[in-house]
Structure formats: C-alpha cells, structure tokens
Amino acid sequence: MDPEAPSSHFSNCTHCGFCLAVCPTYKLTGDENNSPRGRLRLWSEEAAGRLPRDKWTDFYTEECVGCLACETACPATVPYGQIFERIRHDHVTTGRSHPGPVLRLAAALVTAPFWFNLALLPARLLRRCGLAWPPLLFPGRPPLLQSSAAYAAELMRLRNPTGPRVALLTGCLMEAMFREINFATIRVLIENNVRVVIPEHQGCCGAFQEHTGLGDAAALGARNRKAFGSVEVDAIVCNSSGCGYALGKSLAPDRPVRDVLAFLGDLGPVRRQREPTDATRVYVDLPCHLVHGQKSPGIPAAVLDATGYRWELAPNARDCCGSGGVYNLQKPENARAILAGKAAFLNEAEGAPVVLATSNHVCMMQWNSAGKSGLVKRPYEVRHVIQLLDPGECFGRGSGPA
Amino acid sequence: MNDLDVRLRALLPRGRVLTSPAQLAAYGADGLGYKNYRPDAVVLPADAAELAAFMRGAKRLAVPLVMRGAGTSLSGGPVAAQGGVIVHTSALKAVPVINAHGFWCEVESGVTLNDLDAILKPHGVFYPPDPSSGPVCTLGGNVASNAGGAHCFRYGVTSNYVLGVEAVLLDGSVHRFGGPAGGRGPWREDWKRFMIGSEGTLAAFTRFWLRLLPLPEKVWTFRATYPDLTTTEAAIHALVADPSYPAAIEMLDPRGVAMVESSQMACGLPEGSFLLLVEIDGPAPLVDGRVPHVAELLRRAGSTDVTFSEEALIRQKLWKARKAAGGLLGQLSPSYVVQDAVIPKRALAEVLRLVYDEADAAGIRVVNVFHAGDGNLHPNFLFDSRVPGELEKVERISKHLMERVIAVGGTLSGEHGIGNDKSGYMPLVFGPDSMRLQLAVPAAFNPTHQMNPLKVFDDRRFGS
Ligand SMILES: Cc1cc2nc3c(=O)[nH]c(=O)nc-3n(C[C@H](O)[C@H](O)[C@H](O)COP(=O)(O)OP(=O)(O)OC[C@H]3O[C@@H](n4cnc5c(N)ncnc54)[C@H](O)[C@@H]3O)c2cc1C
Ligand code: SF4
Ligand code: SF4
C-alpha cells in the first residue's frame, strides 16, 4: 500500500460521524469499528504506525458490504470506496484476507469470457428448464447458445432502427448466467428506435475483482478502455448498476457511462399497455451502486411509468439489500440480516402478483433469496426494470421469450 | 485475555466486550477527530437491563466509565480522557410508548434523533430540539449535553422537553427523575435538571420521557443577504422583537458565504454578503398572513435580496448554503475546532472583529455560523493537526475569544457542552465558590469521580 496517499485521504475524515447512521454493518452490530468512521480510523492508525497489524482490523475490513452509502452521507466527501478497494486488494495480496476457492476460480474465469460462458452453460440450461435450486438463482429463461452480440446484430437487421447509437456492455455473469436480461435490454432499446452496438473484445467490468480484492481490475479496465474507447456512439450504456459503476471508473474521464434506464428515461420510452384488471404491483428497489456509486438520483419515473404497472419505491429503497456483489457469499449471515429488514414489507405488500424490481443482477439474486430462505413467506417475483418494458414480458412463466 | 477483559465479560454475559487494540482505536475520538484517547475497553450492553446490571458491578472495576452515544460531541465528551471503559449505548434503541394525545413519548437513550422524528411523524407530533447532527446523534447524548439547534430560538433546547430521565447510578440503583407526569405521583424525585447537561458525569441514562408538540401546519422559509454587519444586525434585532416570533434565525458570515460559493454547492449568493435564514411556522392562516410583513422587515433592514417559500423543495434550496457549510469545512481542511460561545447580540460586531483579526494574524481560516436568535456564535477554525504549531495557534485564539466573550457578559457554551475541550475556560466564567458547589454535584453521585473524569472540570480526576 502506498503509505502517503491513503493517509492524506483518511485525514479528510473530520470524524463527524454522519456516516454511522447509514452504514448497514453499524446498524446491525452497533460496534463503531464496524462503521465507515471506525474502519477509516483503523486503517489510518495502522498506516500512521500507531496500530500494529491486527486480526480485528482484517475482520472489520471484511465486514464492509461496500455499499457506499457512507459516501453519500459524508459531508466532507471522503472517497471511502476508493480507499476501501485499495485496502481490500492489499489485504488479499498480503494474505490477510482469504477469499474462498470458488471465488478464486470465478475471478480467474471471468477474465476469459469464452470459458466463463462455457463453464456456466449447464447452469443456464438448468435455469432455462426451471430447475435452478440455489436460493440466489432467480427464475428466468436464458437463451442457451446465441450470444447477446449475435442477437443484437440479428435484431438490428430485422428492425433497422434509426435513432441514437449506443454501445452496450454485456457483462460476464450477466451474459453467462442471466442472458435473458441482456436480450430484453436489446429488444427494449431497439423497440425505442435505438441502434445497439456490442463492442467486440469487451470484458468483465472489473467489479468482481473490486468486490473480492482478487485479480487485476486495472488490466480489465485497460481492456475495456480499448474496446469502448474508440466506438462511435452517442452513449455507452450498462444494464447493471454495479457493472456501470465499475466500467464508468475504467473509462473516466474520457467516456461517460450511463445506466440504460437513465438513457431511456431521457428518450421517453414506449409505454406498455396493461389490462385495466391487471393487479400487478411493482416495488422498486434502488441498487447501491446506482444511487451511491454512480450518484444517480434513482430510476427515472418516466421509465417506471412506461412499464404500465402501478409502482412505488420499496421502503428504504436507497438502503443496501445486503448483496454487496459477493458479500452474500462471503458473509451470508450479515447479508441475510440486512435483507431481513428490507424484505419484511413484502409479506404484507399489496398486489397480485407482487413484483420486486431493481436494476442490478446481483441485487436480484439477493432479493430472490428472501423467498427461498423464508424471510418472505408469500410468492413474489423478482425482475429487472428493463424486463418490465420488454414487449415479451409476462408473469408466471419465467422471464419472457428467448 | 487480560484481567479487565475477564471481569467485564462476567458483567456482560449477553452484550459485547472489546479489548483488542484494533477494537479500541475507533473509540479514541469524538467529533474532534484530531484528539485521541485510547480507552482500555469498550462495552456494548445488549439492552437497558444489562446496562443497569453492568453498573451494579462497575464500581468494583475501579476504572473510569465513559458513556457514549454516537460520539458526535464537539467538546471531547464521550472519550476516555483518563482511560477506562467506554459504555456504548448503540443497542438501546426502543421507543416503547408514543402517547400522541398526551403529547409525550418514552424512548431509550440510544435512539437517534432522526429515527425518533420518523417514528413520530405519522402521529402528527414532533420533538423540537434539532441539532444538525440529527441523522446520527442519540437522545442520550442530547440530554447529557442539553443539545440545541436552529429552531431553538422559539422552541427552546433539550431541557425544555425532558419530562423525565431514567438514570442508573454507580451502585446499580435505578432512579426515575420525573416522568410523563413531571415529578408527581409514582415519579418521585424530580431531579431531572441535575441530569440534563451533566455530560456523563453523574449517571448512565437508559430512557427518557419527552414532551412533544403538534407538527406545525405550515412553515415558511426566508433567505436574505446583507451587504454588511450593520444591516444584518438591524434585521436580527427587528426579528427578535417581532411579534411574528420566528422559529429560527440563522446567520452565515461572508467567509462562510465565500466558502459555499467557491464549492460545488454554490447557490449564487452575492460576494461579501452576510446570509440570514429565517423560519416562521404555525397554523396556516396565521403564518400565511405574516409572510408579507416578515419579508418587508427583512428588506427594510437593508436587504435587496429576499427570497421566501412554503414549498418543501424550494425551502430545502434556501437552506442549502447554511446546511452545506458544516460539510464544506471538512472538505477544506482535515481538522477544525468549533467554538460555541453565547454572547449578547449587541456584542456581535466586537466579537466577530476579534475573531477575524486574531485568525488573520495567525494565518488560520475561520468561518462563522451564528444561531443569531439565541446569540450562539460558532466560529469554526480550520487547521491541519499534522502541521506543528497550528493547533496551538487555534487554542490561543480560542482563549482570547473566550476572555472577550466573558468580558462582554457571555458564556462558554450554548449547546455543545464543556467536555475536556473547554474545561480549561471554566474558571474564567465561574468563581471559586461556584466551582466548589458545581463540583459537589458529581461528588454526591459518584464520590470518586469514576463517571467521565477530567470532563467539565480540569481537576475532576478519578481516584483522587
Ligand atoms: C456536524 C456536527 C453538527 C453538530 N450540530 C450540533 C447542533 O446544532 N446543536 C448541538 O447542540 N450540538 C451539535 N453537535 C454536537 C453533538 O452532536 C451533540 O452534542 C449531541 O447531543 C451529541 O450526541 P451523541 O449521541 O453523539 O453523544 P456523544 O457525543 O456520544 O456524547 C456526548 C456526551 O453525552 C454523554 N452521554 C452520551 N450518552 C449518555 C447516556 N446514555 N448517559 C449518560 N451520558 C451520556 C457522553 O458521556 C458525553 O459527555 C454537532 C456535532 C457535529 C459533529
Ligand atoms: S460501504 Fe456500506 S458497509 Fe461499508 S462502511 Fe460504507 S456504509 Fe458501511
Ligand atoms: S461522514 Fe465522512 S467525515 Fe464524517 S465521519 Fe464519516 S467519513 Fe468521516
């Protein structure tokens, strides 16, 4: 770790404590070490040589969900996320933190999209057949063999849209496991007269590396700078808030990255018509990496209105659901406790069916687990907001046409 | 595990005990982040009952005990200045009773102010004291430091709203000083005024009974800028004496305005101006009728730039510069000291002059925020604690400031408390007789000064 830079960052923290109130792990434990102000203090004390390396510093570092709510709350604009990423990476490389073998394997695989896609083919198949059992895997019907790039090219040929041009990041897990969301995104964009380009040689956005401290996020960033750097488009868009945040950091300051829903909000998307008797109610949760990472005001009302459904924000929509990228794999008990507080409302929520919609696939996985793990005792469906704009979407049989 | 660790664990079978160096570091400071006092241990009682049980055995630990809420104190209150054990109340978060018809509620001491607000709102009632640390500070900290806020000009400070305090003494005895019915009936000793503002030196608070008010039907916010201090003062004096009785009168000085305007929070305020923010509230027909009058008053005093609104979003914008000021301090400098002097309003010009002259001479940046209605001045001195000599400069200016404040008939602290940051100034205000009597109070509750030693009085040391 660079001894100079972090300590100058840490010292920006005036110790006002405003970040305590929003931190999920502080709310859970009431232990100030487990808060943003506390973690910053542990790291700065260690960097300044006033605190020896200690297993508790490692513990409290691993406890952080990485939700970045503290950045939004901080009046002194302390760049917590940047500091945290650096510390986490440092802890992993120096053996203070030990991500499990599955995460290590995944970290290696996501850098090679072809092999990652192949490795997850059986999982895609199981999801498609409705046989996916792990609580995180939400139902859906991912296309098996056709890639998002091939689908976009085919649909572009058929529909020939003439509007603005966008480059879409297809992502690693998104493409390998939840490809139906990419397909829905492409359909919705093209239906809205948007020309979709899927730049070749793009790779993982680096969020996985940032979440785990494994691998070389900078190398992935360089690859994407090459893939997206020179494409001639009106916007670079992402359909997952976490990937959008990570790609945005890689391409900054030259190429801004937009959330696809914000982009559609500006266009004013085609509105879906629903039957007057349709009693669907959509509860919208806002991913941390959208509101705290990308500092976006949320998902545009114009987009949510265009779904044609009655919608409202889920209670505490800006609070973390506990997903935190891979936090729910690394700290399942904390993740479940954080989710418990958020998801309880679904038990009483009105609507038939009740839909929980968000804009990040890892949050969708976390929300899906609320039902399978018994936190929510009534049926509900989890969707990406873009799927609610998809002409093919309909409830009760997975997630739209392939 | 050391001996203290073992004994603490025996006292807290359900709660948590922290003793590793890396579990204590985060508890070294309060809102004055540059001052560090590492405690020997931190305990987190699981609930109020466990806190009471802990207090029963705590005397025998023979180490100082320091109560801590959210640790946002700006005076060195919740820190272990003489070592010992910090008792963190973060688990005491229940709000067992809301009696909207009787206009009172019962809350535990670890509840945060904004959480209480949110819980009360659907009942159409509110708890008026509003320190700007509201998102995070706890009622325990508020009561122990008698917190105030922007709206205390009309509504009064914490002490005006505490009906009763449940306090656990060092012998483990649980006392209810006052209660929802004041000091009557089963609520025996009405000594709550001893407890309010006691800064953790008397007892551990576990719960409070608080007085509530009906939510105001309508609120109007006014923002005016003034070219100089004379016109600003004219406006403040007129407002204070005006029958429209504003709820809040807040001021930001030109250096504060310049700080806001050169930041990403800029809102187009004229260069070199003083900013006044005024709020009136109450029943709609009454307040609506007063709006033209207040606007006229602000203009007559010398403002050509008066904006006002009743709409929540616009009101938020009007408050923006004032609210942003606190955060911007943190963006400008790694450390700041905020003084909390209360002065007669007529002395504002004189005291501000001293602050500017001394700070400029020492090369220290300063921004003044003023709860103008109450005469509560907050000069914020921005400095870098890593640069040798800077803190000393700030302390020297602060001392001169305090001497002048006393000379003009003011006092040390309006709302932040004394802690160990301002304890050195106590003899400036109080003579030996008064100091002796004041010291007798904590001595009556804990004769060895085990509770929060070295606070409020410099020589109030545990064990001596
Ligand atoms: C950015 C910022 C803005 C602020 N604005 C204001 C403002 O507008 N008005 C204002 O009045 N203050 C303000 N403050 C100061 C501070 O927030 C208040 O003093 C607040 O009341 C402290 O609450 P806390 O929960 O953080 O208490 P702490 O800081 O933890 O403790 C404060 C004192 O209370 C004692 N204490 C805490 N809990 C208990 C308990 N359960 N039993 C007995 N003693 C206890 C502690 O020992 C300590 O002496 C501000 C602080 C910051 C950082
Ligand atoms: S990122 Fe989230 S979990 Fe981590 S310190 Fe900040 S608020 Fe807490
Ligand atoms: S809100 Fe920002 S400045 Fe305040 S304690 Fe947290 S990180 Fe530090």
Q: What are the structural domains, with CATH classification, of chain B?
A: 1-215+430-464 (3.30.465.10), 218-325 (3.30.70.2190), 333-424 (3.30.70.2740)
Which helix H or strand E contains B277, and what residues bound it?
Answer: strand B274-282
What is the greatest pairwise CA distance in chain A? 67
Please report, for residues B112, B146, B326, the alpha-carbon distance to residue B129 in angstroms, rounded to integers and kept in the order given.
12, 9, 18
Give B4's contacts (C-beta < 8 A, 6+ positions apart). B19, B40, B41, B61, B63, B85
* Interface-testing mutation among B36, B86, B139, B331, with chain A (most A C-beta atoms within 10 A): B331
A5 pLDDT higher than 80: no
| Site of tokens 């989890």 | A382
The answer to whether the CB of B201 is under 6 A from ligand 1 is: no
Q: Confidence class of residue A396 from pLDDT cuts 50, 70 and 90?
A: very low
Size of interface A-B (CB pairs under 8 A): 113
Give A294's contacts (C-beta < 8 A, 6+ positions apart). A241, A244, A245, A248, A259
Mean pLDDT of A273-302: 96
Q: Looking at the partner chain, which of A31, A35, A54 has a beta carbon nearest the beta carbon of B16? A: A31
B3 pLDDT higher than 50: yes
Q: What is the pLDDT of residues B378-436, one digit of tens each?
A: 999 999 888 899 999 999 999 999 999 999 999 999 999 999 999 999 998 899 999 99
The answer to whether the CB of B65 is under 6 A from ligand 1 is: no
Q: What is the pLDDT of residues A242-265, one digit of tens each?
A: 999 999 999 999 999 999 999 999
Give contacts of A22 with chain B, Cβ < 8 Å.
Answer: 135
Give which of B91, B98, B87 is closest to B125, Cα–Cα: B98
Determine contact: A25 vs chain B, CB below 8 A: no
Give which of B121, B148, B278, B146 is closest to B213, Cα–Cα: B121
Evaluate whether B262 touches B197 at the Cβ level (below 8 Å).
no
Determine contact: A230 vs chain B, CB below 8 A: no
Give A352's contacts (C-beta < 8 A, 6+ positions apart). A279, A280, A281
From ligand 1's centre to the CA of B200, what distance in Å?
Answer: 11
Residue A66 to residue A82: CA distance in whole angstroms: 10
CB atoms within 10 A of CB A246: 30
The answer to whether the CB of B111 is under 6 A from ligand 1 is: no
Determine contact: A14 vs chain B, CB below 8 A: yes
- pLDDT confidence of residue A400: 39
The length of chain A is 402
Mean pLDDT of B327-343: 86
Distance from CA of B8 to the nearest CA of A (A): 17
Higher pLDDT, B345 or B119: B119
Which ligand has the nearest atom to the CA of A18? Answer: 3
Give which of A355, A337, A338 is closest to A346, Cα–Cα: A355
User: Alpha helix locations (H) across B301-389?
Assistant: 312-332, 348-362
From ligand 1's centre to the CA of B137, what distance in Å?
Answer: 6
Residue B362 to residue B394: CA distance in whole angstroms: 8
Structure ipTM:
0.93
- pLDDT confidence of residue A109: 85
From ligand 1's centre to the CA of B377, what distance in Å?
Answer: 18
Residue B449 to residue B41: CA distance in whole angstroms: 18
Distance from CA of A191 to the nearest CA of B (A): 36
SS3 category, A233: coil
Residue of chain B with shortest Cα separation from A9: B334
What the block records as the tokens of A18 is 């405003």
Contact B331 A37 (CB under 8 A): no
Higher pLDDT, A2 or A65: A65
Contact A21 B136 (CB under 8 A): yes
Distance from CA of B203 to the nearest CA of A (A): 21
Contact B88 A30 (CB under 8 A): yes
Residue A239 to residue A389: CA distance in whole angstroms: 13
- pLDDT confidence of residue B302: 96
CB-side neighbour CA atoms (13 Å) of A203: 25
| Site of tokens 């002259």 | B357
- pLDDT confidence of residue A381: 95
B186 pLDDT higher than 80: no
Distance from CA of A335 to the nearest CA of B (A): 19
SS3 category, B97: strand
Give which of A265, A284, A292, A258 is closest to A364, Cα–Cα: A284
Q: What is the mean pLDDT of chain A?
A: 91
Distance from CA of B263 to the nearest CA of A (A): 12
Residue of chain B with shortest Cα separation from A12: B334
Contact A31 B18 (CB under 8 A): yes
The percentage of residues in chain A with a pLDDT greater than 70, rounded to a whole number, is 95
Minimum mean pLDDT among A307-316, A330-339, B176-185: which range? B176-185
Determine contact: A340 vs chain B, CB below 8 A: no
Determine contact: A334 vs chain B, CB below 8 A: no
Nearest CA to ligand 2 atom 2: A67
A399 pLDDT higher than 80: no
Residue of chain A with shortest Cα separation from B265: A75
CB-side neighbour CA atoms (13 Å) of B189: 12
Q: Confidence class of residue A397 from pLDDT cuts 50, 70 and 90?
A: very low
Residue B404 to residue B393: CA distance in whole angstroms: 17
In degrees rounded to 5, what are phi and psi of residue B369? -115, 140
Q: What is the pLDDT of residues A207-248, one digit of tens each?
A: 888 888 888 888 888 999 999 988 999 999 999 999 999 999
A325 pLDDT higher than 90: no
Contact B112 A11 (CB under 8 A): no
Contact B22 A76 (CB under 8 A): no
Give which of A70, A71, A78, A81 is closest to A20, Cα–Cα: A70
- pLDDT confidence of residue A1: 36
Nearest CA to ligand 1 atom 27: B141
Give B348's contacts (C-beta < 8 A, 6+ positions apart). B229, B233, B236, B370, B375, B377
Minimum mean pLDDT among A184-198, A278-292, B334-348: which range? B334-348
B368 pLDDT higher than 90: yes
Minimum mean pLDDT among A144-153, A215-224, A321-330: which range? A215-224
Mean pLDDT of B140-152: 96
What is the pairing mode between strands A235-238 and A257-259?
parallel
Residue A337 to residue B437: CA distance in whole angstroms: 50
Please report the sign of the dihedral spanned by the C-alpha atoms of residue B339, residue B345, residue B347, residue B349.
positive
What is the greatest pairwise CA distance in chain B? 70
Q: Does domain A7-93 have CATH number 1.10.1060.10?
A: yes
- pLDDT confidence of residue A393: 65
SS3 category, A282: strand
Tell me B383's DSSP state: E
From ligand 2's centre to the CA of A26, what distance in Å?
Answer: 8
Which residues' Cβ are closer than 6 Å to ligand 3?
Answer: A 13-19, 36-37, 40, 73-74, 76, 78; B 330
Q: Confidence class of residue A203 from pLDDT cuts 50, 70 and 90?
A: confident
From ligand 1's centre to the CA of B78, what distance in Å?
Answer: 8
Contact A51 B25 (CB under 8 A): yes
Tell me B413's DSSP state: B
- pLDDT confidence of residue A11: 65
Q: What is the pLDDT of residues B59-110, one digit of tens each?
A: 999 999 999 999 999 999 999 999 999 999 999 999 999 999 999 999 999 9
Distance from CA of A9 to the nearest CA of B (A): 9
DSSP string, B116-182: HHHHHGGGTEE-----TTTTT-BHHHHHHHT---TTHHHH--GGGTEEEEEEE-TTS-EEEEE-TTT
Evaluate whether B35 touches B29 at the Cβ level (below 8 Å).
yes
Q: Looking at the partner chain, which of A17, A31, A41 has a beta carbon nearest the beta carbon of B136? A: A17
Give which of A16, A93, A90 is closest to A47, Cα–Cα: A90
CB atoms within 10 A of CB A195: 19
Directed axis angle between helix B390-407 and helix B348-362, to 10°? 160
Ligand 1 pocket mutation pick from B44, B133, B416, B451 by most atoms within 8 angstroms of CB: B133
Please report the sign of the dihedral spanned by the C-alpha atoms of residue B208, residue B213, residue B217, residue B220.
negative
- pLDDT confidence of residue B333: 84
Give which of B138, B27, B33, B134 is closest to B83, Cα–Cα: B27
Ligand 1 pocket mutation pick from B43, B72, B328, B456 by most atoms within 8 angstroms of CB: B72
Residue A58 to residue A326: CA distance in whole angstroms: 17
Determine contact: A18 vs chain B, CB below 8 A: yes
Residue A36 to residue A60: CA distance in whole angstroms: 10
Q: Vertex A259, ends A255 and A265: CA angle to 5°?
A: 115
Per the DSSP assignment, residues forming a β-bridge with B352 are none
What the block records as the tokens of B217 is 């039907």
Evaluate whether A263 touches A166 at the Cβ level (below 8 Å).
yes
Determine contact: A4 vs chain B, CB below 8 A: no
Mean pLDDT of B138-153: 96
Evaluate whether B359 touches B353 at the Cβ level (below 8 Å).
no
Distance from CA of A166 to the nearest CA of B (A): 30
Q: Confidence class of residue B182 from pLDDT cuts 50, 70 and 90?
A: low
Contact A33 B18 (CB under 8 A): yes
Mean pLDDT of A309-313: 97
| Site of tokens 């020179």 | A230
From ligand 3's centre to the CA of B229, what distance in Å?
Answer: 33
Distance from CA of A72 to the nearest CA of B (A): 12
Which residues' Cβ are closer than 6 Å to ligand 2?
Answer: A 22-25, 36, 39, 64-70, 80
Residue A133 to residue A325: CA distance in whole angstroms: 20
The overall pTM is greater than 0.80: yes
From ligand 3's centre to the CA of B372, what distance in Å?
Answer: 27
Mean pLDDT of B273-285: 96
Q: Which residues of A126-151 are buried (b: 16+ CB within 10 A; e: fewer)?
A: ebbeeebeebbbbebbbbeeebbbeb
In degrees rounded to 5, what are phi and psi of residue A292? -100, -35
What the block records as the tokens of A94 is 């120096």
Note if the bond before A253 is cis, omega within 30 degrees. yes
Give which of A307, A327, A297, A300 is closest to A395, Cα–Cα: A307
- pLDDT confidence of residue B94: 98
Which ligand has the nearest atom to the CA of B137? Answer: 1
Residue A256 to residue A8: CA distance in whole angstroms: 28
The chain B residues in contact with chain A (CB within 8 A) are 16, 18, 20-23, 25-34, 44, 70-72, 88, 90-91, 110, 112, 114, 133, 135-137, 324, 326-331, 334-336, 386
| Site of tokens 């949050």 | A363
- pLDDT confidence of residue A131: 81
Contact A14 B135 (CB under 8 A): no
Q: What is the pLDDT of residues B117-139, one digit of tens each?
A: 999 999 999 999 999 999 999 99
B277 pLDDT higher than 50: yes
- pLDDT confidence of residue B290: 95
31-60 in A: which are within 8 Å (CB) of B?
31-33, 35, 37-39, 41-42, 45-46, 50-52, 54-57, 60
Q: Vertex A79, ends A73 and A81: CA angle to 5°?
A: 90
A382 pLDDT higher than 80: yes
Question: Rg (Cα) of chain B, in Å, rounded?
Answer: 23
